[in-house]
Amino acid sequence: MNQTERRKLQDAEQDFVLSQTRRHFFQSSGVGLGGIALAGMLGTPEVRAAARSRLGHYAPKAKNVIYLFMAGGPSQFEMFSDKPKLRELDGQVAPDSFFPKDKSFAFIGKGAKLLGSRREFDHFGDCGMELSGLLPHLGGVADDVCWLKGMTTDVFNHGPAKLFINTGFQVPGRPSMGSWVTYGLGSESSDLPGFVVLQSGPRGPRAGNALWASGFLPTRYQGVPFRSGGDAILHLNNPEGIDAHSQSNFFSLVGDLNRQRLETTGDPEINTRIKAYEMAYRMQTSAPELMDIKAEGEKTLGSYGAEVGANSFANNCLLARRMVERGVRFVQLYHTDWDDHGNEGTNLGPPLEQRCKEIDQPAAALITDLKQRGLLDETLVIWGGEFGRTPMGEERKSLIGRDHHIDAFTMFMAGGGVKPGMIYGESDELGFSVTKEKVHVHDLQATILHLLGFDHEKLTHRFQGRDFRLTDVHGHVVHDILA
């Protein structure tokens, strides 16, 4: 067994001890951790290792995920969806059919007026994807991307909607997508966490911690926030006054004392503790090395628009690539402030322009860079917010924007086994509802898990008497978009 296998085996054994019931995960599949845990109890180390090597339910297309989360709800009308009819009816009161009895919006109500997009659109690539002038760089990778223009979700408040897309449920407490994935696949890295969260923009995303929490899964699978400045990980630096010599001797003393105690008590958990300290010590070197983007050189930095020392989406995109290269399984980037309820002018104004500018070049550069390095095939890039915005305008005093809209919005994916250069989904001429190729959030989750080799109905965890899963009791894999 090599080191990685050994560690995975330890993980499996530990999971078993941690598991809250006798039937844990992947039940009945005959493979996966349930079987492994049993083998771990009964079998020889070789049997156990063999069991461990069969993970997942299918051969995966994607190994890693980079999820670019646009917190606040980017406006598809200003970015992805030109609607001439909406422009034609601009200023007219929205039809009553937009306000059925069981439907409400966060802020607007009957009487709201339609708002046509003021943005210029153009077609890009062989697929002919429509993009506004706000996204020139993404136009350049249009044929590498699968554009999902028929997205729908269930919830219209930010916090619950973010929870919904990340955990499959709108109330906090369930494991996030990144936790499920690292729980299912383990981590490839021996000196970095398997699930990392990065953040840029003026503030953190609403609902915070719960978005990358592990819920009822062991906390080892929760997302670890890395900061772009200062210590990347909490407590990564030695306390003041502890230099390299002290630190190294400290780790060996702790190891010595732990080994002596292991001998006395015979508890294998001490062995895990010893390993954890060894990895902690390695992380003190590997994390700063990871975060040091100087080594990338001017050209690469320039292509992303990254700057050494900045806390930007561009830097985070570059870091995400570096993490994936080092075996981090799931990287999630939050970029905040897309919640354009009311800005100056009628084109959603300078804030939207600024947001687009911040993400357009780096997101395109990330896709190109991954492709050039041969990493795009095994890395799934996802871009999108928790919902879209209404075809109706929202007036806040003299400012104009759009309210939250859950019935039709746009996301995109690239690499990792999705069809490149595909446009999937359409909405009606006013962009209110999806008319073709609808993808509900649970379908998206099912599809992402599928690409990683999981049957979303089988990646489950038993908690308080029920088998929980990311897609709750819903979701269908969108086979049309699989490469």
Residues 12-51 that bind other proteins (CB under 8 A): 14, 17-18, 20-23, 28-29, 41
2 forms part of the interface with other proteins (CB under 8 A): no
Residue with tokens 């492709």: 371
Q: Residue from 264, 294, 295, 374 that binds other proteins (CB under 8 A)?
A: 264
CA 333, 336, 341, 346 dihedral sign is negative
Do residues 10 and 36 lie in contact, with contact meaning Cβ atoms separated by under 8 Å?
A: no
Among 3, 120, 465, 479, binds other proteins (CB under 8 A): 465
CB-wise, 238 or 372, nearer to other proteins? 238
Applying CB under 8 A, among 54, 93, 95, 260 the residue interacting with other proteins is 260
99 is an interface residue for other proteins by CB under 8 A: no
Residue 100 touches other proteins, criterion: CB under 8 A: no
* Residues in contact with other proteins, shown as a per-residue x/- string from 399 to 428 under the rule CB under 8 A: ------------------------------
d(C-alpha 382, C-alpha 481), whole Å? 13
Residue of 280, 310, 399, 482 interacting with other proteins (CB under 8 A) = 280
Q: Which of 53, 92, 238, 285 binds other proteins (CB under 8 A)?
A: 238
Give the span between the Cα atoms of 1 and 123, in whole angstroms: 53
Binding residues among 440-459 for other proteins as defined by CB under 8 A: 458
- For position 4 contacting other proteins by CB under 8 A, the verdict is no
Quick check: 289 binds other proteins (CB under 8 A)? no
Residues touching other proteins, count (CB under 8 A): 90
Distance of CA 453 to the CA centre of its chain: 17
The single residue among 276, 308, 309, 396 that binds other proteins, judged by CB under 8 A, is 276
Minimum distance, C-beta of residue 315 to other proteins, in the bound complex (Å) = 14
| Min separation Cβ 61 and other proteins, Å | 22
The answer to the question of residue 248 lying near other proteins (CB under 8 A) is: no
Among residue numbers 73 through 92, which ones bind other proteins (CB under 8 A)?
none
Nearer residue to other proteins within complex by CB, 220 or 438: 220
Evaluate whether 328 touches 193 at the Cβ level (below 8 Å): yes
Q: Which is nearer to other proteins, 95 or 173 (CB)?
A: 173
Question: In the range 328-347, which residues lie near other proteins by CB under 8 A?
Answer: 334
Among 4, 5, 90, 250, binds other proteins (CB under 8 A): 250
The binder of other proteins chosen from 279, 310, 399, 482 (CB under 8 A): 279
Q: Indicate which single residue of 110, 235, 294, 479 sits in contact with other proteins (rule: CB under 8 A).
A: 235
Nearer to other proteins, 231 or 289 (CB): 231
The span of 10-18, 80-88, 135-143, 383-391 binding other proteins (CB under 8 A) equals 10-18
Q: Is the Cβ of residue 16 or residue 118 nearer to other proteins in the bound state?
A: 16
The neighbour count for residue 423, using CB atoms within 10 Å, is: 20
Residue 401 near residue 394, CB atoms below 8 Å: yes
Question: If we measure between CA atoms, which residue out of 207, 203, 192 comes closest to residue 290?
Answer: 192
By CB under 8 A, residue 126 contacts other proteins: no
Stretch that binds other proteins, among 75-83, 157-165, 348-356, 418-426 (CB under 8 A): 157-165
Which of 88, 126, 269, 292 binds other proteins (CB under 8 A)? It is 269
- b/e map of 354-364 (b: 16 or more CB within 10 Å)? ebbbbbbbbbb
Q: Are 180 and 222 in contact (CB under 8 A)?
A: no
What part of residues 170-229 is at the interface with other proteins (CB under 8 A)?
A: 171-173, 193, 197, 199, 203-210, 213, 216-220, 222, 224-225, 227
Least distance (Å) between residue 275 CB and other proteins: 9
- Which of 287, 418 has the CB closer to other proteins? 287
**What is the nearest approach in angstroms of other proteins to the Cβ of residue 235?**
4
Tokens, residue 182: 């690292």
